[in-house]
A and B are shown apart, each in its own frame.
Chain A
Amino acid sequence: MTEPLVQMRGISKAYPGVVALRDVDFAIGRGEVRALLGKNGAGKSTLVKILAGVERPDEGSILMDGAPVSLRTPMDGIKAGIATVHQELSVVPELSIAENVFLGRWPKRGGGIDWRAMEREAHAALEVLGLDLDPRQPVARISVAQRQLVEIARALRQGARLLILDEPTSSLVAQEAETLIRVVRRLAEQGTSVIYISHRMDEIRRVAQSLTVMRDGRHIATTAVGDVTNRQIVEMLLGSTQAEGEVVRSAPAKRSPLLSIRGLEVAPRIQDASFEIRAGEVLGIAGVLGSGRTELLQAIAGLRTIDSGSMTLSGSDFRPASLRDARANGIFMTPEDRRGEGAVMMLGIDENLVMASWGSVSRGGVIDRAAMREKVTASIRALGIKLAHPSEPLGNLSGGNQQKVVIGKALNAAPRILLLDEPTRGVDIGAKRQIYQLMRKAAEEGLAVVFVSGEIEEFCEVCDRVLILRGGSITAEVEGEAIRTETLSELTTGEQGVH
């Protein structure tokens, strides 16, 4: 076997009060794509930060091509050929693609920038990635996926031999994710090594040869992707004691029709959607991005104008005229963008939990503190949120716990229909499981829970019934045991799955 490109030996790192890494060994070969998995706090981000020179290890050594290297600053990392592309991209939208590819290292001629050479080389750098774009147009005009590729092109131009991609597909449309996966494969063929951080199993199986699982700052296992099942991976991630149980679906007899929708039209994406939402079930809505799944939820929640169609809520005609109207009728939606729309990060966890139900903990506009504390304490218990103090800012919590607070806020508003738009986006596997449990529990208590997700495999874990949204209408319905990734994948895209 050839010598690995990078070897980390016995790496340990402690922050005040937390041990982030304990004696971790990690090695990656040339042209290898390695998936790196772990819950939040498992140590994966510390590990890649050490590789990038952002953090320094307390103990241990790093070797490149067999020789020890010292990565003390981010500059050292770049010089050693290690580049990181973060979830939050660092491109300048107002500058052109070419300027972004060369950011800060623009080729000079005379006293100015050599525009022609820069544009030519930028175009070539993008072509390597299979992207044919005019390098003169501003980055603001291209899609998020293309911006990501611009950033990868920049890293390659700087001589990156090891590329670290941190959840690269979390904000991409399915098709775009495909493009990225192709790019990663192509780079690997050309000899670039890639560390691929992701929570999506199907993606990992397609892009990576090997995977490394971390837990509690320790290296748990490194293995070829083909040698382990998804279930084994989850067990490694969570520790065997927490491994999942089977989905306990509610008995169909316990579900009763609550909202029935006929011929719903919401311009421009929903043309003619008819379906039923039942109390006591978790209903999934599957569709590719751009299929209008978010718009569908928004229409029901009173956030979008309904162009035509009829709705019947518990037997009487209903058309949500506004958010307040929908709320008054027991419909509550949690938005996809947690940070931007879901919660107020600066305010306390407690206030976020009661923000949509102030009426229940106040009298005449004055807050009843005892009632609020009681409600908040009950919520925190039910949601299983770990915190230092109920009134600490929500922004201090991890993404998964923040999402639980957003769901808790909705539940405190005592809805009959709970619409969840991508509630598990960007949260780790442990938190995902807990969110599934919350959804199941809400359904058991008689709520109608409607669940939208871009990750098809999620439906199998939690839904009683899944609707397929395609071409603006509901094209199929899958129930119970028939809910399988392959089936849903075929139904949403109309193609045979790649599985």
Chain B
Amino acid sequence: MAETRSELYQKFDLRHFLSGRANEIGLLAAILVLYAFLAVFASNFMTLPNQLNILRDAAFVGIIAWGMTLVLISGEIDISVGPHVAFAGVLLASLAQSGVPLPVAALVVVVLGALIGCFTGFLRAFFDVPSFIVTLALWLGLRGTAQVMSDAVPIVIMDFSFQRFGAGSLLGIPTPAIIMLVLFVAFSFVATRTVFGRSVYAVGGNAEAARLSAIPVARIRILVFAITGALAALTGILMASRLGSGNSGAASGLEFDIIAAVVVGGTSLFGGRGTMLGTLFGVIFIAALVNGLVLLGVDPFAQGIVRGVVILVAVMVNIISIKRMRGRM
């Protein structure tokens, strides 16, 4: 019996294998092309310090991007993460200033971050407020709170050993990059191997079918926002550590870099589809692109144009592939 049992699965089907990973394979090819181009035309791009720099920059996008991937797969969106990072940094710094030990302050910031996420998820799940609207309100409110708390002046954190987290390295690898990669492994596992992860896909793919299958839809929705809120707070702590201060103007526009990375990575804005590996590639692609444009000496304004075009092309490829998939149904 044992040999017949999983024979359905053992039958290796190359076409099935490739079609399931077409997105990741395409992205990997795009990254290779980008790297080849920059290696030739941008001096210093392929040096080790520069690659480590890319990794460090990637971390400030990547850590939140794991949570954002879950949010998008569940059919939602969270645009409040940029201001959330700034708010978390300012809160940490002002707690530290008033004498709270840094580890305790960090814990408070992360827990509060998760609670803010819960709030978004709660309004979405129980009052059907679109998550775009709730997080738009938070986008305004969190940045505003950070500015009020700090008078829009950076609050310096006096503990210099704290700077190791954001600016330091471990075995030569930037600490934030290590945190990002550890979390990547954890989130890949959550997304593919846990009941919660698969339920996120089910809710985003067809919330009504998920509900009728007794999947706790409301709880799933609240959790994805809570996770993303906690990750935004963590990124805020790392950013405060890197800057040595809590800055209400930090992480401006970060939310769009993150959403762009997730979407470039093949996650559907309509929910139900996406992978952590795709997001990792999306994060690396965008970090390398940004870094390369700087090294090439491209005018900062023109950089915006290039990034805009790249994101648009990626989203179009995504939509076209969804249509193809629907066509087969």
Query: Which residues of chain B from 49 to 81 have any CB-CB distance to chain A below 8 Å in the complex?
Result: none
- A18 at interface (Cβ–Cβ under 8 A)? no
B194 at the interface (CB under 8 A from A): yes
Q: Flag whether A330 is at the interface (Cβ < 8 A).
A: no
Number of B interface residues, CB 8 Å? 33
Q: Given the complex of chains A and B, what is the CA–CA distance between A95 and B220 in angstroms?
A: 39
Query: Do B205 and A344 touch across chains, with their CB atoms under 8 A apart?
Result: yes
- Whether A356 contacts B193 by the Cβ 8 Å rule is no
- Residues in chain A near residue B195, CB distance under 8 A: 358-359, 362, 365-367
- Which chain A residue has the least Cβ–Cβ distance from B196? A365
Which residues of chain A are near B99, meaning CB under 8 Å?
none
> Nearest residue in A to B328 (C-beta to C-beta)?
A396
CB distance B194 to A333 under 8 Å? no
Q: Is A377 touching B208 in the complex (CB atoms < 8 A)?
A: no
Contacts of B7 in A (CB 8 A): 377
Complex contact B206–A345 (CB within 8 A): yes
Indicate if the CB atoms of A389 and B212 lie closer than 8 Å: no
Residues on the A chain within 8 Å of B272, using CB: 344, 346-347
The residue from A335, A351, A374 contacting B5, defined by CB atoms under 8 A apart? A374
Would you call B209 an interface residue if the criterion is a C-beta within 8 Å of the partner chain's C-beta atoms? Answer: yes
Distance between Cα atoms of A373 and B9 in the complex (Å): 8
Residue interface bits A336-372, CB-to-B below 8 A is 1, else 0: 0000111111110001000110110010011101100
Instruction: Determine the residue in chain B with the shortest Cβ distance to A322.
Output: B214
**Closest-CB distance, A475 to chain B (whole angstroms):** 29
Cβ contact within 8 Å between A388 and B209: no
A173 to B282, CA, bound (A): 50
Between A and B, how many residue pairs show CB distances below 8 Å?
A: 103
Q: A355-B202, A367-B193, A377-B9 are in contact. Are A340 and B328 (CB under 8 A)?
A: no
Question: Which residues from chain B contact A362 at a C-beta distance below 8 Å?
Answer: 194-195
Contact across chains for B11 and A389 when beta carbons are under 8 A apart: yes
Q: For A367, list chain B residues within 8 Å (CB).
A: 193-195, 198
Question: Which of A335, A344, A345, A391 neighbours the largest number of chain B CB atoms within 10 Å of its CB?
Answer: A344
Q: Which residues of A contact B6 (CB under 8 A)?
A: 370, 373-374, 377
Q: Identify which of B206, B213, B215, B273 gathers the most chain A CB atoms within 10 Å of its CB.
A: B213
Closest to B192 in A: A367
A300 smallest CB distance to B (angstroms): 14
* Residues in chain A near residue B13, CB distance under 8 A: 388-389
- B5-19 contacts to A, CB under 8 A, are 5-9, 11, 13, 16
Give the docked Cα–Cα distance between A377 and B209 (Å).
Answer: 22
Q: In the bound complex, how far is the Cα of B16 from the Cα of A347, in angstroms?
A: 14
Q: How far is the CB of B267 from chain A (nearest CB, A)?
A: 12
Q: Which of A335, A345, A369 contacts B205 (CB 8 A)?
A: A345
Do B213 and A356 touch across chains, with their CB atoms under 8 A apart? yes
Q: Quick check: is B323 within 8 A (CB to CB) of the other chain?
A: no
Taking a contact as CB atoms under 8 Å apart, the answer to whether A324 and B329 are in contact is no
Inside 8 A of B20's CB, which chain A residues have their CB? 391
A393 within 8 A of partner (CB)? yes
A344 touches B5 (CB 8 A): no
Q: In whole angstroms, what is the CA distance A303 to B214 when docked?
A: 11
- Counting CB contacts under 8 A, is B201 at the interface? yes
Q: Given A346-B273, A367-B193, does the pair A324, B214 have CB atoms closer than 8 Å?
A: yes
Interchain CB contact under 8 A, A409 and B9: no
Decide if A377 touches B213 in the complex (CB within 8 Å).
no
A324 to chain B, nearest CB (A): 6
Q: Are B5 and A377 in contact (CB under 8 A)?
A: yes
Flag whether A390 is at the interface (Cβ < 8 A).
yes
Least CB separation from A343: chain B residue: B209
Q: Is A258 an interface residue (CB 8 A)?
A: no
A323 at the interface (CB under 8 A from B): yes
Q: Out of A323, A359, A366, A391, which one reaches B211, CB within 8 Å?
A: A323
Interface contact B205-A346, CB-CB below 8 Å: yes
- Residues from chain A with a CB closer than 8 A to the CB of B9 are 373, 377, 389-390
Taking a contact as CB atoms closer than 8 A, the residue among B193, B202, B214, B325 that contacts A344 in the complex is: B202
In the bound complex, CA of A310 to CA of B122 (Å):
35
Is the CB of A147 closer than 8 A to any CB of chain B?
no
Chain A residue with minimal CB distance to B16?
A389
Which residues of B have CB within 8 Å of A390? 8-9
For residue A380, CB closer than 8 A to chain B, the reply is yes
CB pair A355 B213 closer than 8 Å: yes
In the complex, which residues of chain A have a beta carbon less than 8 angstroms from the beta carbon of B329? Answer: 345, 393, 395-396
Asked whether A392 is an interface residue with its Cβ less than 8 Å from the other chain, the reply is yes
CB distance from B269 to the nearest CB of A (A): 14
Q: Is B153 an interface residue (CB 8 A)?
A: no
Would B212 and A341 count as touching, CB distance under 8 A? yes
Q: Report B319 CB to chain A, min CB distance, Å.
A: 15
Please indicate the chain B residues that have their CB under 8 angstroms from the CB of A13 in the complex: none
| Partner-B contacts on A (CB < 8 A) | 303, 323-324, 327, 333, 335, 340-347, 351, 355-356, 358-359, 362, 365-367, 369-370, 373-374, 376-377, 380, 388-393, 395-396, 409, 413
11 contacts between A and B (CB under 8 A): A335-B212, A340-B206, A340-B208, A343-B206, A344-B202, A344-B210, A347-B198, A355-B202, A390-B8, A392-B16, A395-B326
B interface residues (Cβ-Cβ under 8 A, vs A): 5-9, 11, 13, 16, 20, 193-196, 198-199, 201-202, 205-206, 208-215, 272-273, 325-326, 328-329
**Known pairs A341-B212, A351-B198 / 7 extra A-B pairs, C-beta < 8 Å:** A323-B212, A344-B210, A346-B206, A351-B202, A355-B209, A365-B194, A374-B5
The 9 A-B pairs of least Cβ separation, nearest first, read A395-B329, A344-B205, A356-B213, A344-B206, A358-B195, A346-B205, A346-B272, A389-B16, A341-B208
